[in-house]
Amino acid sequence: MIDIHCHILSGIDDGAKSIDDSLLMARKAASEGIHTIIATPHLNSQYDNKKELILSKVDQLNQALAVANIDLIILPGQEPRIYGDIIEDFEKNEIQTLNDSQYLFIEFPSNHVPRYTEKLLFDLQVKGLTPIIVHPERNSELIERPEILYRLVEKGALTQVTASSLCGYFGKKIKGFSMQLIEANLTHFIASDAHNIVNRSFKMEEAFNIIDSKFGTDYVYLFQENPQLLIAGKNVIKEMPVLIKRKKKFLLF
């Protein structure tokens, strides 16, 4: 398996605190059958992780993995919180796409979708980049108004659901919405978003078992094939998205 979203680089965000933590995470990942991880440290108001630093930390970790004899490859990525100047910073070579491909993570605030989102995602695509919205299942506005996500996907954005969400570790509501996103072809990747091995671990094996039992082997293949295509810079598999219908709420008098 390939994990395209992981906070395994040490000491630069809220993920691994030390190289020892990174190695613990690496061993856990390998035990679940993960052989390649894209390291995606945060870029936001709290963490200023630019491309140059990320590349250096990836090199350091790959060297440490070789010394520790852990059979795992780390590739560079980044998790930028959406902001208006991201294209300008990309042109300044401060933004790290996923393994230097055309694919770029975009994180939303947890409770809303900024008004300029649709235009920014369009502008990124004009620049030849393909935005991947990370963990949309944990965004409260998207849960209440899934038509927003449908519109963004319909216009070319991709999304990535977190394995732990699918397994129920963020609660029943988020698990249910994760299932709906898969069923409606509104997500294209399953990834760990792992931060440690205690309360934010990988859960990839567990998630794929759920996908296999609920949706079948074709979906397992899709979610395992797309990360390979992403790393190679090729077009990923996309099915026609479907609008999630919200249940009407009835008032009782």
Residue 187 within a domain: yes
Give exposure, 181-198, as e/b (b: 16+ Cβ within 10 Å): bbebbbbbbbbbbbbbbe
Query: For 74, phi and psi rounded to 5 degrees?
Result: -110, 130
Residue 227 sits in a domain whose CATH number is 3.20.20.140
Q: What is the residue whose two structure tokens read 């780390």? A: 74
Residue 238 within a domain: no
Residue 73 within a domain: yes
Q: Are 118 and 138 in contact (CB under 8 A)?
A: no
Which own/partner pairs from 30-35 qualify as long-range (CB within 8 Å, at least 24 positions apart)?
A: 30/70, 30/71, 30/72, 32/1, 32/202, 32/204, 32/205, 33/1, 33/204, 33/205, 34/1, 34/2, 34/3, 34/72, 34/192, 34/202, 34/204, 35/1, 35/2, 35/71, 35/72, 35/73
Residue 248 within a domain: no
Residue 219 within a domain: yes
> Which residue segment(s) compose the domain that 13 sits in?
2-231
Residue 241 within a domain: no
pTM for the full model?
Answer: 0.95
Residue 142 within a domain: yes
So what's the pLDDT on residue 247? 60
**What are the pLDDT tens digits along the chain (253 aa)?**
999 999 999 999 999 999 999 999 999 999 999 999 999 999 999 999 999 999 999 999 999 999 999 999 999 999 999 999 999 999 999 999 999 999 999 999 999 999 999 999 999 999 999 999 999 999 999 999 999 999 999 999 999 999 999 999 999 999 999 999 999 999 999 999 999 999 999 999 999 999 999 999 999 999 999 999 999 999 999 999 999 987 655 455 4
Burial of residue 84, with CB atoms counted within 10 A of its CB: 0-12 exposed, 13-18 middle, 19 or more buried: exposed
Report the C-alpha gap between 110 and 86 in whole angstroms.
19
What is the tally of structural domains in the chain?
1
So what's the pLDDT on residue 250? 45
Residue 251 within a domain: no
